[in-house]
């Protein structure tokens, strides 16, 4: 099924039970929650979903569950966080039988950084081994791909349809937006700066804030597209204050905490990631309540 990739695409958490197996019922609940929030797509196996801890079989099962719940209504992106081309290809092949709109694939992330030609070869082989379009997940701090290299890869490899640009440098985002081929998609994962990213042309986001407060991010996206920048700036301020409370080394756990506070079963993080601390929870609670005032999907639901 053909899907347009744009807008708010939350990277879902992976709910784990106490024995660290996937809580499939809770995962289904998360997918249904996102659908109620009118998101434009979902991603499984990303960083927020602790995708680096998932086996190939677990990733495939997560995609299968999401496909059953979504039933073609919105696109599904499969996250692949792997340390070798072979392992990335194995995961790509494992999810190929499901209705996956794109693969979100990291460069390798161990301490040995391949040079630009080796990175190009990595994505070139992956485009040969899968027919699913690829989005480069540009997130690895010591293997952060420059706009020039990203443009080279997108220009030379038709199977690479875009980039998810992470980290906090909006200048790199801006450079990528003005140099990328016009038929490619550029998503922002600069959580603190979603509004400016949208305002300068990012076609959407796959990021932790949308996973924690999807309805608020949909409201922001709609405001920017309607040209209501006064409203968008107010939402930006609330989202930034909220982001400052959840951003930490246990970010996925904090997103799970936020979902639980909204009545969505979200399970535990996988060891060694700690759960949200009492100090973190106190700060999150205050800003979560404030930012959720911008969730217009919630307001519409209560009015119905």
pLDDT at 167: 78
Residues 6 or more apart from 144 whose CB is under 8 A from it?
138, 167
Average confidence (pLDDT) over 250-277 = 98
pLDDT at 54: 98
Q: What is the DSSP letter of 293?
A: G
pLDDT above 90 (res 168) = no
Question: Angle at Cα 59 formed by Cα 41 and Cα 51, nearest 5°?
Answer: 80
Say what percent of the chain tops pLDDT 70: 97
* Other C-beta atoms lying within 10 Å of the C-beta of residue 109: 17
pLDDT above 90 (res 292) = yes
Q: Is 186 helix (H, G, I), strand (E, B) or coil?
A: strand
**For 112-165, how does the pLDDT look when each residue is reduced to its tens digit (9 = 90+)?**
899 999 999 999 999 999 999 999 999 998 899 999 999 999 999 999 999 999
**For 224-256, how does the pLDDT look when each residue is reduced to its tens digit (9 = 90+)?**
999 999 999 999 999 999 999 999 999 999 999
Which residue in this structure is represented by tokens 């959580």? 191
pLDDT at 84: 96
Model confidence band, residue 300 (pLDDT cutoffs 50, 70, 90):
low
Average pLDDT, the chain: 96
pLDDT above 60 (res 302) = no
Complete domains list, the chain, with CATH: 7-297 (3.20.20.70)
Looking at the chain, the number of H-run helices and the number of E-run strands are: 13, 8
Model confidence band, residue 64 (pLDDT cutoffs 50, 70, 90):
very high
- What is the model's pTM? 0.96
Task: Choose among 57, 65, 126: nearest CA to 94.
Answer: 57
**For 80-96, how does the pLDDT look when each residue is reduced to its tens digit (9 = 90+)?**
999 999 999 999 999 99
Residues 6 or more apart from 204 whose CB is under 8 A from it?
5, 6, 7, 8, 9, 40, 185, 187, 188, 221
């Amino acid at each position: 099924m053909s899907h347009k990739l744009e807008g708010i695409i939350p990277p879902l958490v992976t709910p784990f039970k106490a024995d660290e197996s996937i809580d499939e019922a809770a995962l289904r609940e998360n997918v249904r929650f996102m659908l109620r929030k009118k998101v434009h797509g979902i991603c499984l196996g990303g960083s927020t979903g602790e995708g680096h801890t998932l086996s190939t079989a677990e990733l495939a099962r997560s995609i299968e569950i999401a496909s059953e719940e979504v039933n073609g209504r919105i696109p599904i992106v499969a996250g692949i966080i792997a340390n070798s081309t072979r392992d990335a290809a194995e995961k790509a092949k494992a999810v190929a039988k499901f209705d996956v709109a794109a693969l979100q694939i990291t460069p390798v992330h161990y301490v040995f950084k391949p040079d630009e030609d080796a990175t190009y070869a990595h994505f070139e082989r992956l485009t040969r081994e899968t027919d699913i379009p690829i989005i480069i997940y540009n997130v690895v701090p010591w293997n952060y791909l420059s706009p020039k290299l990203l443009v080279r890869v997108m220009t030379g490899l038709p199977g690479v349809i875009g980039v998810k640009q992470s980290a906090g440098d909006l200048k790199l985002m801006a450079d990528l937006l003005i140099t990328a081929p016009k038929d490619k998609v550029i998503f922002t994962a600069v959580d603190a700066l979603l509004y400016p990213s949208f305002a300068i042309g990012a076609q959407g986001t796959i990021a932790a804030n949308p996973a924690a407060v999807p309805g608020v991010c949909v409201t922001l996206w709609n405001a920017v597209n309607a040209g209501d920048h006064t409203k968008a700036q107010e939402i930006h301020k609330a989202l930034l204050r909220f982001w400052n409370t959840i951003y930490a080394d246990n970010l996925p756990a904090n997103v799970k905490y936020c979902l639980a506070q909204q009545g969505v079963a979200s399970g535990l993080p996988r060891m060694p990631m700690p759960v949200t601390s009492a100090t973190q929870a106190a700060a999150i609670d205050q800003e979560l309540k404030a930012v959720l005032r911008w969730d217009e999907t919630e307001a519409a639901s209560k009015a119905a």
